[in-house]
Every structure is written in structure tokens, then in C-alpha cells.
Copies of this chain bind each other. A is one copy, B any other.
Amino acid sequence: MLYMIGLGLGDAKDITVKGLEVVRRCSRVYLEAYTSVLTVGKEVLEEFYGRKLILADREEVEQEANNILKDADISDVAFLVVGDPFGATTHSDLILRATKLGIPYRVIHNASIMNAVGCCGLQLYRFGETVSVVFWTDTWRPESFFDKVKTNRQNGMHTLCLLDIKVKEQSLENLIKGRKIYEPPRYMSVNQAAQQLLEIVQNQRIRGEEPAVTEETLCVGLARVGAEDQKIAAGTLQQMCTVDLGGPLHSLIITGGSLHPLEMEMLSLFSVPENSSESQSTDGL
């Protein structure tokens, strides 16, 4: 059996009781380590689970899936994913491969950023399509995701922006020379995302388009959702450029315009003080 197990969002103890039982009895346990991260590293998980973990990077999961699935028809293999197993499309791919090989699978769900963002008080059912904001380079500065934000806002829906993660990336030079030397991991902050968004807004104005979002649009920045030190800050997109939310992972929500009174009241718990770049402490701690 292939077990796809969600680890949730915080630390080692965010795994479910059921998930932990399975991890402890599987013959091999893989940890997917490229679409998200917990606040603790592999060693902490290994100690808590009492099991050695095999790190699976993107290359491995996409190109060496058969290694992961080896003997999973006669023994139990676990594949651990931060958040819920269905956060990333590569995981559907692993399930399809297993099915083709006649290997049964089971999913043990957990919280993911897709539902845990509800903690800011915006109502989950009012979210529209989710977008990804990628790190711009000198030559690649995609703006097309902004159309989805526009559609969402035109229909009164909030937009969750997932912010880019670069793990185990090679520099162009190392890639060309075939050197397996990797850059340090990078995680986009709410500040960086907000700055890129404002640049898109400026570009749209230059082109004479009406931007769906302005400096004044109400946004919510979230950091380390589910962890003890999570931070949430509600304020304008302009304020999101400077708010200090600390370390990764960050997410950004662009609100859909008119808010329910209960949403407003919840957001007020997290509002960025006027004339300040400091966020409020969050979640009542």
C-alpha cells in the first residue's frame, strides 16, 4: 500500500494520530521536500516519528517515482507531504503511477494552507481561484496571474496568493555546466509579493488599463500559519510592502472587496497600526 500522508503546517506534532501510526509501521518513509516546509527540519521529524526519512526532491518524485513505489504492492510505503497530499499536482501523478502498477493507495489528510487561511477570519467559501506569485527575474516577469485576481475581485471573491519557493535550484551557470551545486533555498515574503503586485498595478496604469487592485486594496499577510509564532497582518497592499512578518512561509490574501461584518471584525484583530510597519501579534497569543 502507498500511503500519502499530510503533515499539516506547523511542526512534528501536527501529523494526525492515524498518520503517525502508519509512519511507524511502513517499511520506507519518504519526505517530500520541495513544495512546502514545516517550522522544523527532517531530524526533528525523524526523532519524533522514530523513523529514518528519505528526502524526496522534485527530480526524484518526477523522474524516479518507480523507486518510491518499489515493492509497495507487497509492503507499506509512506510518502509524507507538508500540508495535505493534494496541494501539488505532482502528488496526483504519483497516485496515477501507483494505480497503473496495481498498487493500492490511501490518503491521510491534514490541514493545508488552502483551508488554514481561514484563521484570519475571511470566510473560506468566499475564496475564488488561487494564484501563484513567482519570483521575477530580469527577463521573466509574468503578470498573467493578475487576470485571475481581477476575475475574483469582480465577483466579490478573495484571492489566496501562494508565494514562490525555490528549493534545490541551480544557477544557470551550474545548470549549463552540469554541476550539481544548489543555491540556498529562497522563500518569497509578503513584502516581495506586494512589491511585485504594485509594479504590475503601475504597468497596467502605464498601459491605460484599469487595475483591479490598487495601493489601497485591503490585503492580509500570513506567516507560519499553524505554528506557535504565526503572524497575521491586515492592511492595504501598500502596507504589505513593509509589514514585518518574520521568517517563512508567507502567504498573501487579496480581499474580494465588500466584506461580511464578521470578516471585518476578525480582520480588525490583526490590523497593521497606522504609520507603522509592525504587525500586530496574532491569534490571541
Contact = CB atoms under 8 A, between A and B. Distances in A.
A259 interface: no
A11 B128 CA distance: 30
B125 A128 contact: no
State how many copies of this chain the complex holds.
2
Contacts of A121: 92, 95
A123 interface: yes
Given A86-B116, A92-B266, A151-B155, 17 more contacts: A8-B16, A13-B21, A92-B121, A92-B262, A96-B262, A96-B269, A107-B226, A109-B226, A114-B114, A114-B115, A114-B118, A125-B132, A126-B130, A127-B130, A128-B128, A128-B129, A128-B155
Centre residue among A96, A110, A151, A157 by max chain B CB count within 10 A: A110
Interface stretch (A97-105, A196-204, A242-250): A97-105
A95 B121 CA distance: 10
A111 B111 contact: yes
Contacts of A21: 13
B107 A119 contact: yes
Nearest to A129: B157
Interface string A14-41: 1111101100000000000000000000
Find the residue from A8, A20, A104, A106 having the highest chain B CB count within 10 A.
Answer: A8
Contacts of A157: 128-129
A283 interface: yes
A8 B116 CA distance: 12
A10 interface: yes
Given A84-B118, A96-B266, A123-B89, A110 B110 contact: yes
A234 B216 CA distance: 43
